Chains A and B, each alone.
Chain A
Amino acid sequence: MIITQILGTAIAIPGDDIDTDRIVPARFLKEITFEKMGDYLFYDERFNADQSPKDFPLNSVGHLDATILVVGANFGCGSSREHAPQAIKRYGFKAIIGVSFSDIFSGNCQAIGIPCIPASASDVAQITAAISDPPARLSIHLDSQRIQVGSQIWTSALSPARHHAFVTGGWNLKHLLKANAKAIQSVAQRLPYVQNFHDSISPDSTE
């Protein structure tokens, strides 16, 4: 799938170091499919123990149809659970703009076609202001590496190679990895431990 631009309402979730336990609490990880993960997104942030809604951005009326998340630093830190990006995707989000992302989280997002787009802290603050009051539509142009709200434009800090991967559909890596079967085999053959430390110059090699 080719992803060149993403348009929609954006919603800001304030704060740094938002961990994947907050994004999807561990008790919801006991399902063997990702199907219902969208229902569990930020569950304990959105709801009290009695299921009544809390004051949380995802519950705010002006942002119910949001498709882009705007976040702080180190978003998605903690557990490697892909349940977190899956919940974000299945809830309806198509991209995340943030000051920084945990390495595992951004890798997981990329693997399922959700761009995690880094921007400077001051840009994220400006973007947050621009989309918040009143809610405004935001566009992400992956082909030109731009983020836009009205006439305001910011530059995405995602690497050109990553932009290219989304624009060409090359984010979906499995077929690329599989196509290298021969090269994989030759790497396996040169690794001493894969060969159980047999070696042509080793006396063991005659075993």
Chain B
Amino acid sequence: MAERTLYNHVWNQHTVDLLPNGDTQLFIGLHLVHEVTSPQAFSQLKEQGETVAYPDRTVATVDHIVPTDSIARPFGDAQAEAMLSALHANTHAFGIRFFGLDSGQYGIVHIVGPELGFTQPGMTIVCGDSHTSTHGAFGSLAFGIGTTQIEHVLATQTVALPALKVRQIQVTGSLVPGVSAKDVILKIIQTLGVHGGIGYAYEYAGSVIESMDMDGRMTICNMSIEGGARVGYINPDETTFNYIQGRPFAPTAAHWGKAIEYWTSIRTKPDAVFDDHLVIDGDQLEPMVTWGIHPGQSVGISERLPLPNGDADMLRAYTHMGLQPGAPIAGTPIEVAFIGSCTNARLPDLRAAAAVLKNQRVHDSVRCLVVPGSATIKDQAEAEGLDVVFKAAGADWRSPGCSMCLAMNPDQLVGDERCASSSNRNFIGRQGSATGRTFLMSPAMVATAAIHGCIADCRL
């Protein structure tokens, strides 16, 4: 088993007990809540007359079901309205801080947590959402959990989890312009497979990771779960500390020195032992695009689609996607372009897309949706004039939310539309149509596809 890694240190620090079933009872430093996976947990607490053990350590916002065209209440969708009302009532009843639509700070939970300074190194973080791994970018151990476990956290501020192995993934060299964090993580998932991470935490390291900003690091950790790893993390450094400093819920100046001391002490030690190790050559990476029905089915933009190898799952992917084995991925037509999601809806993602779309037009055959990750990001983007660039190009500039990543709001694919998407999952039906087809790629690549009406290299 791994030793002297950040994972070992933080896990041990938070261990309450070893349970008879083999799990570890872990104290949870930060519990994030959204409207979709929490109502049943709050109902259980109410039924059993229980209280929330540490209400200060839970923070809620609303993201999945929020419409992005108009947030006027009540929502047109009565079910969505009921979900938001339930979250509002539950957080009020249990004394939990809630960033609602009128807070000016709502948005995708994995974007709001970091940008308000709740997410910090050396914490254990959970949320009823698999993309909780995002917060590992700060050197926390962040786990997606289910609703019964949400109830456990609310009632006890602890959760039972099995110990993990640790695989260090080093990304060496440097990325050429036009290649981004999204391409790095898609390459890692392609290399290790979508179930390579089962039972593992992924520690990302190497020069590419060290020189990456926090937004890129969040993109990488976010998609750990798509490689099967429930947890992905990066050791905190100056980049991390600089990002956190001055945010509304960050440690204050009076305590900053002690905070840095703790955050530095948790780092993986030079003599650490890992259960497994992988090196990816960052110099060789090119923009990546998924062609299939899970995030491991991807190719570089210059490559051709793989030839059938007798694998039934690959055949199913080709049947669903309607693609020709051996054909180049470049030139594949698309009808929808989606820039958004907890993977790629932060300010640098919007800047990258706007840089491509500036003085260009979205292709006549494409509808292009740009959905900022939070109200804060929306404000910042508009202050920079990015909204003007998107609108001038013919793209639709929206309000924050999870939007077409999982289509729980009105933003959905129709029929068998093909979508170039900066989100995280290309599963069948994921974007709201059972026959819809998703191609995952970076924001710059989505913007490029939007202009050309087909998948194309953002570097050309």
Give A contacts to B, CB under 8 Å: 14-17, 19, 21-22, 25-27, 29-34, 44, 49, 73-74, 77-82, 85, 100-104, 107-108, 110-112, 159, 161-162, 164-165, 168, 170-171, 173-174, 176-178, 180-181, 183-184, 187-188, 190-194, 196-199, 202, 204, 207
Min C-beta distance of A124 to chain B, whole Å: 14
Is B240 close to A, CB under 8 A? no
B123 touches A82 (CB 8 A): no
* CB contact under 8 A between A174 and B151, given known A81-B37, A183-B16: yes
Q: How far is the CB of A32 from chain B (nearest CB, A)?
A: 4
Q: B77 contacts the other chain (Cβ, under 8 Å)? A: yes
Could you tell me which B residues sit within 8 Å of A by CB distance? 13-17, 19-23, 25, 27, 29, 36-37, 39-40, 43, 53-54, 57, 64-65, 77, 79-80, 82-83, 86, 120, 122-123, 128-130, 132, 143-149, 151-152, 155-162, 194-195, 198-199, 225-226, 228, 230, 251, 254-255, 257-259, 262, 294, 312-313, 316, 406-408, 425, 427-430, 432, 434
From the candidates B27, B152, B408, B434, name the one contacting A44 in the complex (CB within 8 A): B434
By a CB distance below 8 angstroms, the chain A residues around B146 are 80-82, 85, 104, 107-108, 111
Q: Which residues of B contact A164 (CB under 8 A)?
A: 20-21
Q: A173-B160, A193-B29 are in contact. Are A161 and B22 (CB under 8 A)?
A: yes
Partner of B14, one of A27, A82, A191: A191
Q: Which residues of A contact B407 (CB under 8 A)?
A: 26-27
Are A32 and B82 in contact, CB atoms less than 8 angstroms apart? yes
* CB < 8 Å neighbour of B40 from A33, A49, A168: A33
Query: How far, in whole Å, are A156 and B29 apart by their CA atoms in the complex?
Result: 35
List, in ascending order, chain B residues with CB within 8 A of A26's CB.
406-408, 430, 432
Q: How far is the CA of A49 from the CA of B416 in the complex (A)?
A: 12
Residues of A near B143 (CB, < 8 A) are 104
In Å, the complex CA distance between A44 and B125 comes to 33
What are 23 A-B pairs at a CB distance below 8 A?
A26-B430, A27-B408, A31-B79, A34-B147, A44-B429, A79-B129, A79-B425, A80-B128, A108-B145, A110-B21, A165-B20, A174-B151, A174-B155, A177-B155, A180-B17, A180-B158, A183-B17, A184-B27, A187-B15, A187-B27, A188-B54, A191-B13, A192-B259
Q: Which residues on the B side are within 8 Å of A34 (C-beta)? A: 40, 147
Q: Which of A82, A103, A110, A207 contacts B37 (CB 8 A)?
A: A82
- Determine if A82 and B147 form an interchain contact, defined as CB atoms under 8 angstroms apart: yes
Give the residues in chain B near A161, CB-CB below 8 Å. 20-22
* Chain B minimum-CB-distance residue to A161: B22
Question: What is the distance, in angstroms, from A96's C-beta to the closest C-beta of chain B?
Answer: 15
**A71 smallest CB distance to B (angstroms):** 12
Q: Report how many A-B pairs have Cβ atoms within 8 Å.
A: 223
A77 near B228 with CB under 8 A, answer yes
The CA-CA distance from A29 to B407 in the complex, in Å, is 11
Report whether B294 and A17 are in contact in the complex, using a CB–CB cutoff of 8 Å: yes
Shortest CB–CB separation between residue B252 and chain A, in angstroms? 9
Nearest-neighbour CB distance to chain B for A207, whole angstroms, equals 7
A101 CA / B432 CA spacing, docked (Å): 25
Contacts of A199 in B (CB 8 A): 258
Question: Could you say which of B145, B313, B427 contacts A22, with CB atoms under 8 Å apart?
Answer: B427
Closest B residue by C-beta to A49: B434
When chains A and B are docked, how far (Å) is the Cα of A108 from the Cα of B152?
12
By the criterion CB–CB under 8 Å, are B16 and A112 in contact? no
Given A26-B406, A103-B230, output 15 extra A-B contacts at Cβ < 8 Å. A19-B425, A21-B428, A25-B429, A26-B408, A30-B77, A32-B40, A33-B40, A33-B43, A81-B146, A82-B37, A108-B148, A188-B27, A191-B14, A193-B123, A197-B259
A185 to chain B: closest CB distance in Å? Answer: 9
B21 adjacent to A79 (CB under 8 Å): no
| Cβ-defined partner of B65 (8 Å) among A30, A79, A82, A184 | A30
Which residue of chain B lies nearest to A35 when distances are taken between CB atoms in the complex?
B40
In the bound assembly, the distance between CA atoms of A103 and B132 in angstroms comes to 14
Least CB distance from B62 to A in Å reads: 13
Determine how close the nearest CB of chain A comes to the CB of B401; give it in whole angstroms.
13
Closest to B194 in A: A17
CA distance in complex: A159, B23 (Å):
11
> Which A residues are CB-close (under 8 A) to B430?
21, 26
Residues of A close to B123: CB separation below 8 A: 193
A193 interface neighbour in B25, B77, B79, B120, Cβ under 8 Å: B120
Most buried by B among A30, A85, A178: A30
Report B-chain residues with C-beta under 8 Å of the C-beta of A177.
Answer: 25, 152, 155-156, 158-160
What is the minimal beta-carbon distance from A181 to any residue of chain B, in angstroms?
A: 7
What distance in Å separates the Cβ of A155 from its nearest Cβ neighbour in chain B? 18
Q: Which residues of B contact A17 (CB under 8 A)?
A: 194-195, 294, 313
Q: When the two chains form the complex, which single residue of B23, B144, B199, B257 contacts A80, counting CB atoms closer than 8 Å?
A: B144
Q: Is the CB of B313 within 8 A of A184?
A: no
Q: How distant is A17 from chain B, measured CB to nearest CB, in Å?
A: 5
Contact of A30 among B43, B79, B128 (CB under 8 A): B79
Q: Which residues of A sit under 8 angstroms from B54, Cβ to Cβ?
A: 188
Min CB distance, A205 to chain B, in Å?
Answer: 10
